Amino acid sequence: MAPPLTDNETDQLLRTCRTVIGDELRSVTYFSPNDYQHLYLREDLERGTHPHSFVENERGGFSSQRTYEWSELGDYRYTMRTFDNGYLVRVIVGTHGTYVTTDSITMDRFNDVAEAVSSVLEEIASQSERHVG
């Protein structure tokens, strides 16, 4: 089975995350409603034993987007989760999502990475729509 992203799309997502986050980048995972692809894991870290369940949890964001459509808060931008050893930022655009894990970074950089990843996902979404139509 072919990976969900092309090599160019993978490179673009990784380059974007590395540029914005730098050495604090821990991992990058792309997901859609039906597929996922781990794109990067920093070499000093060890992959968990059940990555699929982690991805399934983040896929909940697809339904969250619909839930927040009518919110007075405005458009959904991203989700940030805090853990003992780092942070997770999840960005979803249409049927394309990415979560990025980091060491400690400033709130401004969380915003920067969310905006940058969102731009890449918008481009991926527009490319995939062209291939379908």
Span 44-92, pLDDT tens digits: 998 775 667 788 888 888 877 677 777 788 888 899 999 999 999 999 9
* Residue 1 located in a structural domain: no
What average pLDDT is seen over the chain? 87
**Radius of gyration for the alpha carbons in the chain, expressed in angstroms and rounded:** 14
Based on the structure, what is the number of domains in the chain? 1
Domain carrying residue 24? 7-132
Look up the pTM and report it. 0.88
- Residue 120 within a domain: yes
Q: Is residue 42 part of a domain?
A: yes
Residue 132 pLDDT? 45
Tell me: pLDDT of 16 over 90. yes
Q: What is the pLDDT of residues 81-108, one digit of tens each?
A: 999 999 999 999 989 999 999 999 888 9
Is 101 inside a domain boundary? Answer: yes
The CATH number for 12's domain is 3.30.450.30
Whether residue 106 is contained in a domain is answered as yes
